[in-house]
Each structure stands twice: as C-alpha cells, then as structure tokens.
Amino acid sequence: MKRRTFIASGAVLASGALSGMLLAFAQNKPEQSRVSIAVGGKNLFYYLPLTIAERRNYFKDEGLEVEIADFAGGAKALQAAVGGSADVVFGTFEHTLLLQAKNQYFREFVLQGRAPQIVLAVSKKTMPNYKSVADLKGKKIGVTAPGSSASIMASFVLAQAGLKASDVSFIGVGAGAIAALQSGQIDAIANLDPVMTKLDRAGDIRIVSDTRTLADTKTVFGGNMPAGCLYASQSFITKNPNTTQALTNAMVRALKWLQTASGKDLIATVPESYLLGDRALYLDSWQHVKEALSPDGLMPADGPATSLKTLQAFDETVRGKPIDLSKTWTNDFVKKAFATVTV
C-alpha cells in the first residue's frame, strides 16, 4: 500500500512539474508569432545584425516568423510603422524623438549601433576645389532618403558650419548612391558602408565627416550617439511583451555572434548581393564599421541626450519641445536576454 501511495504521489508530482513547465512556456510564448519589420537599406552594414538574425534562424528559434520589408531609407521604414503596415522598425534612434515631438510614442528596446557609421563626403568630380563645409551651400547631397539617419547626420554637420538644411538640396538616391555620385547627379553624399568604402577606394570622394568609429563619433557629436535600433510603438510593446522579448533575444544573439565571427563566417552568411561584386572590399568595409556595432544591445546612459541635442541643433520639430527621454528607450528587455541568450 505504501509503495502504491509512493508511486501515485510521484505521478502527481511529475504531472505538476509538467504542468508548471507548460505554463511557463505558455507565459513566455510570443503573443504575436508573425512580426513585420521595416528597414531602410537592408544590405548596408547598419542593418547587418538583422540579416544575421534572419539568416541564422535566430528569430525562428524564438518562435517568430519575421517578414522584413526593405525601403529606400529609414524615413520610409518609419512611415510604414506609423501607418500600421509594419510592427517594428530597424532604424535610427532619433526617430523616436521626432515622433514624440508629434505626440506619437515609440520606444527603442534593443540597440544595434553605438555609432552612426555614416560618412559625409564630397565628389571630387563636381567639387574639385572643396575647402570647407560652407562650400556645400546650394549643392545637392545624396542621402538614402530625405529624413533618414544620413540626412540627420549631414544636417548636423551643416549646422555646425552655420548652414541650414534648407541651404542644400537633399536627394534620395537609395540603392543608386554609387551611380548618382559617379555620374555627377549629386555633389556630395552621406551614406554608409560598404558604399562609402567602395567610393573612397575608387578615388571618387573626399571625406568631410566620419562616424564609423567611437572616437570619430564623439568628435562629431560630443558624446555617445546611439544609431540603429529596433523600436516599436509603446502600444505594441505593451500588448506584446513576450514578442518584444523574443525579438530582443534574437538580436542580442546576432550581436554576440558578430563579435567573434570571422570574415569567412560573414561572407558565408550574408547574401551574395551584399558584397557588391567584391568580397575583399566587403571585408575591408567590415573592419571599418565593426566597432560601431553594439556588443550587447544596451543603450549607453548618455546616448539619448546626445541624440536630442543633435536634433535640437537644426530641427525645428524638436527644438523647444518637452521631450521625455525616459519614454523613448528601455534596457529592460536586453537585460532579460542576458540570462538566456547563447550563440
């Protein structure tokens, strides 16, 4: 009788443990398994962690089916989220500040770039006698898209030289950046790698301002400048905390993989089209921007304030507005990811 009681008790305990496991799984299961992410130029190194998470099936491992929509620039990706056709954006952190200035609340939840990676350069063909930023007045500057992180960086550099964004013409060139510069359609360009390394090695440009390293970024902006990140509306995050956590887990895992990946690993993972027909160039570009990627997904303490100060230098949308920085970012999901994420 005692033996039967022991067996029965064991069965009850096992059943209870299983129920607890199933409950824990149900509690952590993504509320929304299908997620759409908007980006603006997915082949650029700025968005590399997203490609890694996608190609190495990190999203699938988290129970997510992710659809990535690639737009001409970050501003277009932002419009997709505001319009409701995308759940999440992989874009520049500054957009959360611009949105709050319009009473729209979006929050960053996992940082991908701790430096903007953007390079502003002039064309040697159309501006052979360039001497200073002031020479850009009246010129055409090619950016991924108007309102993108590239145009924000260029606008800030112009402001430091006493120029307004309206003193130049920002031209959205998207994937046609190289052709636009080489054909003389634009006089200057603000773009990212591998595009900028390709143009530099070809001798087509003269670099004016560079934010591919932490040191150069601090020189330009005066502090840590957060760049690419995943952000979503506060309503999405509130309704889908498990989904947001799953996205964060996948992205932190991608960042950790990139910290130790070899050039051979990288080439074997990204699509062939990313290489621009030159593997050596791609790997050279990677060395230029590797430091700019966040090693852990955490927002630096001074980052949001640096971003706000940058926008206030030239953007009337933000200047003078009571922006609550605490509502534009969180490290909570990243800190939870540390407990479970392994490469």
pLDDT tens, position by position, 179-210 = 999 999 999 999 999 999 999 999 999 999 99
Query: What's the CATH fold of domain 33-115+225-338?
Result: D-Maltodextrin-Binding Protein; domain 2 (3.40.190)
Nearest one of 74, 184, 183, 170 to 120, comparing CA atoms: 170
Hey, what are 34's tokens?
């299908």
Nearest one of 70, 115, 118, 52 to 267, comparing CA atoms: 52
Q: Mapping DSSP to helix (H, G, I), strand (E, B) and coil, where does residue 122 land?
A: strand
User: Is pLDDT above 50 for 25?
Assistant: no
Half-sphere exposure of 127 (CA within 13 A, CB side): 26
Share of the chain above pLDDT 70, in %: 92
Q: Using CA atoms, how far apart are residues 21 and 38, in angstroms rounded to an integer?
A: 34
Match 């640096």 to its residue by tokens.
Answer: 306
User: Is pLDDT above 70 for 166?
Assistant: yes
pLDDT of 28: 86
Nearest one of 327, 339, 336, 325 to 248, comparing CA atoms: 336
What contacts 109, CB < 8 A, 6 or more positions away?
Answer: 229, 230, 231, 232, 237, 244, 247, 248, 329, 330, 332, 333, 334
pLDDT of 147: 87
| Cα→Cα distances 30→5, 107, 239, 309, 317, Å | 40, 19, 11, 36, 36
Span 105-128, average pLDDT: 97
pLDDT of 11: 46
Averaged pLDDT score across all residues of the chain: 91
pLDDT digits (tens, 9 = 90+) for 258-274: 999 999 999 999 999 99
pLDDT digits (tens, 9 = 90+) for 229-258: 999 999 999 999 999 999 999 999 999 999
Q: State the pTM of this model.
A: 0.88
pLDDT of 7: 45
pLDDT of 26: 52
CATH of 119-210, one of 3.40.50.300, 3.40.190.10, 1.10.1060.10, 1.10.150.120: 3.40.190.10
Read off the pLDDT band of 46 (50, 70, 90): very high
Match 């990204």 to its residue by tokens.
Answer: 270
Span 151-172, average pLDDT: 96
Tell me, yes or no, if the two domains 33-115+225-338 and 119-210 fold the same way: yes
pLDDT of 300: 96
Q: Residue ranges of the domains in the chain?
A: 33-115+225-338, 119-210
Q: Using CA atoms, how far apart are residues 60 and 315, in angstroms rounded to an integer?
A: 40
